[in-house]
Amino acid sequence: MITYNRFDHVYISVPPAKVYDANVFYTQVMGFTPITRPSVFNASQGYWYQLPGMELHIGTEEGTPLSKQHFAMEVADIKAARAHLVANGVQICEEIAIPGRERFTFKDPFGNRIEFLQYD
């Protein structure tokens, strides 16, 4: 079984030429509070925002379908969650390591990308 702690974040993609416009929209129109993205993402464009109880992450991506869009759930035991998914035939995708958290992604049977993470 998987024990969920909370929704952690939602990730959306925008075209690279629109990332600045997206930041203006989400800070000035939506009123979201910007937070610092981990330095492991310095090679790419994007912004992160703190919302009550969760984060919004904006990144850039060309073309369609957009593959980086996903939602993320914090789980109580990431190793148990991984084992449960693998036992049920789900293919795990390893992701770039982010300091302070262990994480991986997978796709549901319909192609939706989902991230599970656990903070250290």
* Exposure string over 76-112, b if 16+ CB within 10 A, otherwise e: eebeebbeebeeeeeeeeeeeeeeeebbbbbeeeeee
Range of 25's domain?
4-119
State the Cα–Cα distance between residues 79 and 77, nearest whole angstrom: 6
Q: 13 falls in which pLDDT band (50, 70, 90)?
A: confident
Other beta carbons within 10 Å of 5: 13
Q: Tell me what the mean pLDDT of segment 105-115 comes to.
A: 82
pLDDT band, residue 87 (cuts 50/70/90): very high
If one counts the domains in the chain, the total is: 1
**Tens digit of pLDDT for each residue in 35-82?**
999 999 988 899 999 988 999 999 888 876 667 889 899 999 999 999
pLDDT higher than 80, residue 21: yes
Q: Are 46 and 58 in contact (CB under 8 A)?
A: yes
Strands (E), 33-109: 33-35, 46-51, 54-60, 70-75, 92-94, 101-107
Looking up residue 35, the CATH number of its domain turns out to be 3.10.180.10
CA 39 and chain centroid, separation: 15
- What token pair was written down for 39? 């330095």
CA 79 from chain center: how many Å?
18
pLDDT at 49: 95
Q: What mean pLDDT comes out for the span 83-104?
A: 94
Give the percent of the chain with pLDDT over 70.
96
Residue in the structure block whose two tokens are 């190793």: 79
